[in-house]
Amino acid sequence: MSNSLKALLGATAHTEEGDFPIIELFYRPEDRRLRYAAIDIGGWLDHREVLVSLDRFGALDGESWPVHLDREGLEAAPRWLDAPSEPSILPPIVVGPFGSTFSPLLMEAQLLESAEESQPQETSALDGRSRILDMDRASPWIGTDAFDDTGRLGEIADVMLSDELVFISVLLDDERELSLDRLRRRADQGHLLFD
């Protein structure tokens, strides 16, 4: 039986304390095996993302992915702050209905700063980042273009994984499946080149 990357990214991490959204999955490029999940354990306005080893996860059951951690274990997990890599699309200043002004960019920066300050020192955002420095995000595979020597093959609609959570093949938007044994390399522009 194989797993779908889309299904794993769309699943909810199920714990004794409740269900939490999975924000991202991380893998090592050399073996293409998923290693960590970033889970948002914060509330509605409080985004607290933690890294959890996939060794702590059970078998996917529909849209629920059981995690063998209690609330204390989740709170002790290394923090990961997903800082946006692109410039913010927020306007620099907004004029309110009564003529007062405020800055959404400043508010966003203050929220990020307060989130970092609220994290315990031993589990700072840098700890989580250092764990994933040698890993890549899994989600960018979906929507990436695939090419071979003849030209564009199509867009990747999903990635199939083995029971050990190793990438084994990609499904194109026309439902063709390509084995990753045929993958030559990932181009600097992001697309995949196959034999």
What is the per-residue pLDDT across 120-149, written as a single tens digit (0 to 9) for each?
444 333 344 445 567 899 999 999 999 999
Question: Which is nearest to 192 in space by CA: 147, 151, 150, 157?
Answer: 147
**What percent of the chain stands above pLDDT 70?**
75
Residues of the chain with CATH 2.30.30.240: 3-87+122-136, 142-194
Tell me the pLDDT tens digit for each residue of 73-120.
877 888 776 544 444 566 677 777 777 776 776 766 666 666 555 444
Rounded to two decimals, the pTM is 0.71
Q: Is the pLDDT of residue 181 over 90?
A: yes
The Cβ of residue 22 has, within 10 Å, a number of other Cβ atoms equal to: 19
User: Residue 49: what pLDDT?
Assistant: 84
User: Residue 54: what pLDDT?
Assistant: 92
Alpha helices, DSSP H, located in the chain: 5-9, 71-76, 104-117, 125-132
Higher local confidence (pLDDT), 61 or 102 = 61
Distance CA 177, CA 7 (A): 17
Residues 6 or more apart whose Cβ sits within 8 Å of residue 86: none
User: Residue 142: what pLDDT?
Assistant: 94
Answer CATH for 3-87+122-136 from 2.30.30.240, 3.30.450.20, 3.40.50.300, 3.40.50.2000 = 2.30.30.240
**8-12, 133-137, 188-192 — which is least confidently predicted?**
133-137
User: Residue 120: what pLDDT?
Assistant: 44
DSSP 101-158: EE-HHHHHHHHHHHHHHTS-GGG-HHHHHHHHTT-EESGGGTT-EEEETTEEEEEEEE
Cα–Cα distances in Å, from 27 out to 37, 53, 89?
9, 11, 29
CATH topology of domain 142-194: SH3 type barrels. (2.30.30)
